């Protein structure tokens, strides 16, 4: 198999069968295990199926996965053909307004997390804080307090180390405790196992548009009236601050509810793309759109074939699944919901040389997803002819027709499975065209988008290609690489270079032809305003999206989006200002003790491979202008790191005189200087000349590599003492200790780790 090194590492760590911690199957064995297990279920539909036909179906499923045309969700890859046998990723559990109902949901969630799934909840049925409790004579503690109970239970499970527990918490905007809920994650240490979203109603949106008030109510009782605009502004403010809460349009979820007679949809799975009834689960899988590219066009026949076989695969998974609860099995097999989605969208656009932020891309998105949705429904109808419609069809919008599955399409996050397939994630744009990954031995590994790398190598010489790729890795984008034509720079655009409106237009285009919902993050540059977030929310409502997740880069303390190789976030707009380079982790230098008119002064001058980089200046115990010298020291360091010539700095310093400066003679009877700045300038001159004349400066600096390695090992040992949540709050991956990124509504890492499982 043509697996990347990263894909092999992910499979070995999380997916392959192990014995005493060592994989005992190869990636090909895993895919064969899954293909055979899912294909064998065909005999339950057709007991007379011949062995040769069954083997052909198995081989087709195997080739779909090993050629990376289609991937099922992670639990299917992990558990198919194994004792656990739980193959679904997403579940929704109901929570009733009683102590028994709440803790039944906690118990059920624990069983789901243990089996490798994630759970979504609506807390809207729990009575408001301070509401009377008749059975005890006390008062209720409210939805947010019970969310903390669910959070603690999830923390205790951790899904056996293969998939982390994740939850979605939703509260309707008209619940009396909505203000507490909106602010419940303003501290990133709180509710770490929850994503939260406000359930937005049609009445609330109308109140915003009319600048009006709306009712806060529970069980038919109105508790208060709030100005809708004020509540909306609070949602925007908190989302602008750290990405939480998201919003979900409840009326829109229920407008597309295929089984309205079975109940109202109140919640989604953890990443928001799968609206479900209580005790429902959904089996997901994704088509790799990069693989339908065929010499500058789309191979529609191949896409149709992938859709037909993927739908058959997913329907088989429902039958083969060992669900953690009997109630879930009844609901799932009654509605047989599947969610066929896509990945590799950004890479497909790269190959077609279509900018993500263009109307051409939006039009193509509608065409591709419209085609997939139509063919998926046709495939479901065809399966119904073979196997019968889903049992609850008479309580659905499909009453009187043939349909095997109540839903067919979902755009889910594909963080790990897209890494296995070696393609871009979901419908997200590329976050970075290239980046440099630091490894423990001090070496640097450049990771490059394969489509970009192929383009560069096909159009430039090896020497030119190396320069272009190095520039892309340093910046994280190709926006300012003059060697590339402007038209190509527009094609290989990254997430933070795309205006937020185009993010939401793309989400709306895919949502238009999707049964369920779309997992997508709208990325904002750091300088984005709250008004920008508000504009995107309103546009999402206008374009028919079912929910929105936003992230303003740098808005969390841990800074989870890192661009380029310098460990700092770059704004999406070009700023015509000069900024200092980051201070290196290790420098080399000398400290000089000199006498001044105010006592002793100690001047440290440090340098790295590029020359002088900083000064530290302190005065002796006899006093002196300590604040002044510290300020001068900081400004000199800033100027040196901003690549200001040392000679220019020295010229300014040595021209300063101090009227109270006592001239003192050095050992050789020469004057030390005429002021503290003058002395500093002279010391800088001395060290600048040393650096210029000494050919071994780089050797001197690099001689500390072994010490750096020891420091890295010490840092690694410190990381080992931190909990998973503490590392995540630092923006560090608990598995590989690299920086985390924020996409598809969740924190994730290039190694395959995802906070949301």
271 is catalytic: yes
Dihedral (C-alpha) 175, 176, 178, 184: value to the nearest 10 degrees? -120
Dihedral (C-alpha) 357, 363, 364, 365: value to the nearest 10 degrees? 80
Cβ count within 10 A of residue 702: 16
Task: Check residue 142 and give left, alpha or beta (phi > 0: left; psi -120 to 50: alpha).
Answer: left
DSSP letter for 428, please: P
713 is catalytic: no
Contact at 8 Å (CB) between 390 and 404? Answer: yes
- Please name the residue ranges forming H helices in 448-575: 450-459, 462-475, 486-491, 500-511, 530-542
Contact at 8 Å (CB) between 410 and 282? Answer: yes
Contact at 8 Å (CB) between 532 and 239? Answer: no
Q: Say how far apart CA 616 and CA 606 lie, in whole Å.
A: 8
Choice among 269, 316, 373, 606 that is catalytic: 269
Contact at 8 Å (CB) between 346 and 352? Answer: no
Choice among 42, 58, 273, 744 that is catalytic: 273
Q: Say how far apart CA 501 and CA 537 lie, in whole Å.
A: 10
Choice among 131, 184, 244, 271 that is catalytic: 271
Give the residues across from 248 on adjacent strands.
199, 547
Among 240, 244, 230, which Cα is nearest to 189's?
Answer: 244
Angle at 89 between CA 83 and CA 90, to 5 degrees: 130
Q: Say how far apart CA 396 and CA 515 lie, in whole Å.
A: 14
And the tokens for 191?
A: 């509710």
Instruction: Determine the length of the chain.
Output: 757
Q: Say how far apart CA 513 and CA 283 lie, in whole Å.
A: 19
269 is catalytic: yes
Q: Say how far apart CA 461 and CA 458 lie, in whole Å.
A: 8
Q: Say how far apart CA 736 and CA 732 lie, in whole Å.
A: 8
Tell me the backbone φ, ψ of residue 359, rounded to 5 degrees: -65, -30
DSSP H or E run through 619: strand 611-619
Q: Is 76 exposed, middle or buried (0-12, 13-18, 19+ CB in 10 A)?
A: buried
Q: C-alpha 350: how far from its chain's center? A: 21
And the tokens for 642?
A: 């901003």
Give the residues across from 457 on adjacent strands.
none
Q: C-alpha 173: how far from its chain's center? A: 26
Q: Say how far apart CA 75 and CA 37 lie, in whole Å.
A: 13
517 three-class SS: coil
Catalytically annotated residues: 269, 271, 273
């Amino acid at each position: 198999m043509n697996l990347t090194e990263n894909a092999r590492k992910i499979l070995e760590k999380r997916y392959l069968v192990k014995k005493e911690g060592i994989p005992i199957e190869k990636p090909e064995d895993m895919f064969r295990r899954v293909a055979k297990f899912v294909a064998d279920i065909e005999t339950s539909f057709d007991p007379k199926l011949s062995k040769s036909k069954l083997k052909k179906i198995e081989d087709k499923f195997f080739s779909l996965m090993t050629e990376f045309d289609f991937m099922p969700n992670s639990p299917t890859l992990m558990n198919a053909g194994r004792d656990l046998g739980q193959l679904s990723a997403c579940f929704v559990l109901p929570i009733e307004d009683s102590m028994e109902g709440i803790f039944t949901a906690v118990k059920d969630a624990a069983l789901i997390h243990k089996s490798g799934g994630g759970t979504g909840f609506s807390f809207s049925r729990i009575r408001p804080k301070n509401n009377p409790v008749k059975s005890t004579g006390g008062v209720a503690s409210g939805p947010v307090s019970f969310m903390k109970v669910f959070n603690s239970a999830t923390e205790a499970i951790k899904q056996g180390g293969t998939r982390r527990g994740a939850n979605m918490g939703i509260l309707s905007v008209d619940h009396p405790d909505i203000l507490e809920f909106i602010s419940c994650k303003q501290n990133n240490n709180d509710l770490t196992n929850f994503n939260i979203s406000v359930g937005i109603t049609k009445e609330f949106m109308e109140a915003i548009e009319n600048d009006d008030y709306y009712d806060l109510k529970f069980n038919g009782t109105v508790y208060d009236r709030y100005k809708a605009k004020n509540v909306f502004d609070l949602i925007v403010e908190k989302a602008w601050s750290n990405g939480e809460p998201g919003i979900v349009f409840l009326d829109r979820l229920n407008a597309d509810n295929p089984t309205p007679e079975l109940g109202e949809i109140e919640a989604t799975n953890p990443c928001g793309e799968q609206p479900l009834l209580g005790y429902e689960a959904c089996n997901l899988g994704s088509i790799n759109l990069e693989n339908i590219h065929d010499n500058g066009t789309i191979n529609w026949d191949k896409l149709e074939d992938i859709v037909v076989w993927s739908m058959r695969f997913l329907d088989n998974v429902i039958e083969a699944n060992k669900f953690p609860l009997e109630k879930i099995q009844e609901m799932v097999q009654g509605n047989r919901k599947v969610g066929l989605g896509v990945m590799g969208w950004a890479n497909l656009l790269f190959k077609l040389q279509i900018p993500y932020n263009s109307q051409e891309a939006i039009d193509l998105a509608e065409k591709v997803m419209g085609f997939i949705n139509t063919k998926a429904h046709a495939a479901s109808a065809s399966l119904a002819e073979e196997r019968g419609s889903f049992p609850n069809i008479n309580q659905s919008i499909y009453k009187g027709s043939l349909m095997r599955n109540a839903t067919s399409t979902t755009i889910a996050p594909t963080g790990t499975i897209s890494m296995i397939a070696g393609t871009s994630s979901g419908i997200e744009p590329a976050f970075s065209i290239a980046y440099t990954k630091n490894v423990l031995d001090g070496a640097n590994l450049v990771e490059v988008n394969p489509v970009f790398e192929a383009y560069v190598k096909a159009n430039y010489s090896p020497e030119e290609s190396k320069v272009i790729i190095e520039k892309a890795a340093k910046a994280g984008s190709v926006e300012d690489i003059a060697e590339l034509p402007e038209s190509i720079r527009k094609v290989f655009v990254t997430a933070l270079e795309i205006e937020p409106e185009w993010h939401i237009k793309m989400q709306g285009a895919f949502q238009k032809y999707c049964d369920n919902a779309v997992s997508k993050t709208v990325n904002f540059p750091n300088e984005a305003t709250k008004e920008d977030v508000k504009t995107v929310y309103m546009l999402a409502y206008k374009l028919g999206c079912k929910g929105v997740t936003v992230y303003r880069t740098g808005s969390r303390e841990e800074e989870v989006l890192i661009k380029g190789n310098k460990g700092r976030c770059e704004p999406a707009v070009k700023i015509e200002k000069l900024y200092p380079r980051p201070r290196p982790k290790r420098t080399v230098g000398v400290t000089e003790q000199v006498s001044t008119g105010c006592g002793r002064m100690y001047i440290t001058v440090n340098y790295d491979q590029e020359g002088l980089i900083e000064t530290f200046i302190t005065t002796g115990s006899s006093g002196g202008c300590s604040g002044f010298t510290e300020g001068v020291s900081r400004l000199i360091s800033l100027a040196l790191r901003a690549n200001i010539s040392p000679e220019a700095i020295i010229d300014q310093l040595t021209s300063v005189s101090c009227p109270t400066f006592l001239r003192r003679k050095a050992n050789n009877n020469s004057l030390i200087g005429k002021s503290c700045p003058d002395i500093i300038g002279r010391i800088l001159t001395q060290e600048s000349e040393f650096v210029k004349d000494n050919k071994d400066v780089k050797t001197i600096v690099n001689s500390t590599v072994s010490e750096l390695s020891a420091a890295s090992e010490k840092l690694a040992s410190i990381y080992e003492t931190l909990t998973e949540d503490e590392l995540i709050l630092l923006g560090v991956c608990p598995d590989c200790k690299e920086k985390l990124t924020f996409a598809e509504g969740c924190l994730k890492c290039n190694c395959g780790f995802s906070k949301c499982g």
